């Protein structure tokens, strides 16, 4: 496997129930849109144990680029929770989806998790990119200044409505 390559999950219909997997290069400044190569799904989680079971993780807030871009104070990563917020907007992914994509996910206390790129030196540039998202006209997915890590993280998530339509009764 090439340096920097990690296993990732992709789905034709569901990020939570992958139909295939692929080798995904983590975005870097030199390669912001990495090439993806399909591989057979048995390589998704080899030798999975009970501790590896997948859990949903929730990101509170709107489905906007700024919500998926860390503030300057978020030096250890963006917050996720293993329980859904009581109300309001949120997006949903799973622990294994993020890990397969190469993200570092840490349960730092209780139901609180932090997600960050595998190379901590990427955080400063990513945090600085949030300034390009200021204002309503810039905080949309058509903004060409959205950092590649923001787009990459966002690709792992379902909206609240998509999650509830498929997985909640």
Q: What is the pLDDT along the chain (169 residues), one digit of tens a residue?
A: 333 333 333 333 333 333 333 444 556 655 555 544 333 333 334 455 544 567 899 999 999 999 999 999 999 999 999 998 888 889 999 998 899 899 999 999 889 999 999 998 999 999 999 998 887 788 999 999 899 999 999 999 988 888 777 766 5
Write down the pLDDT at residue 30: 58
19 found inside a domain: no
pTM over 0.85: no
62 found inside a domain: yes
60 found inside a domain: yes
156 found inside a domain: yes
Number of domains forming the structure of the chain: 1
Write down the pLDDT at residue 167: 67
80 found inside a domain: yes
153 found inside a domain: yes
99 found inside a domain: yes
Write down the pLDDT at residue 60: 94
49 found inside a domain: no
Do the beta carbons of residue 36 and residue 22 sit within 8 Å? yes
Do the beta carbons of residue 106 and residue 77 sit within 8 Å? yes
Write down the pLDDT at residue 106: 92
Residue 137 structural domain: 5-13+55-167
């Amino acid at each position: 496997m090439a340096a920097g390559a990690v296993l990732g999950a992709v789905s034709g219909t569901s990020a939570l129930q992958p139909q295939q997997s692929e080798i995904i290069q983590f975005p870097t400044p030199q390669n912001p849109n990495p090439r993806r190569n399909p591989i057979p799904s048995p390589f998704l989680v080899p030798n999975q144990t009970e501790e590896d079971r997948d859990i949903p993780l929730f990101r509170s807030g709107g489905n906007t680029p700024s919500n998926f871009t860390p503030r300057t104070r978020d030096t250890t990563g963006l917050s996720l929770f293993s329980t859904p917020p009581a109300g309001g907007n949120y997006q949903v992914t799973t622990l294994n989806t993020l890990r397969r994509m190469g993200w570092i996910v840490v349960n730092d206390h209780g139901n609180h998790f932090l997600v960050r790129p595998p190379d901590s030196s990427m955080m400063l540039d990513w945090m600085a990119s949030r300034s390009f998202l200021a204002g309503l006209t810039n905080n949309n997915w058509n903004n060409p200044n959205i950092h590649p890590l923001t787009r990459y993280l966002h690709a792992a998530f379902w909206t609240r409505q998509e999650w509830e339509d498929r997985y909640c009764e």
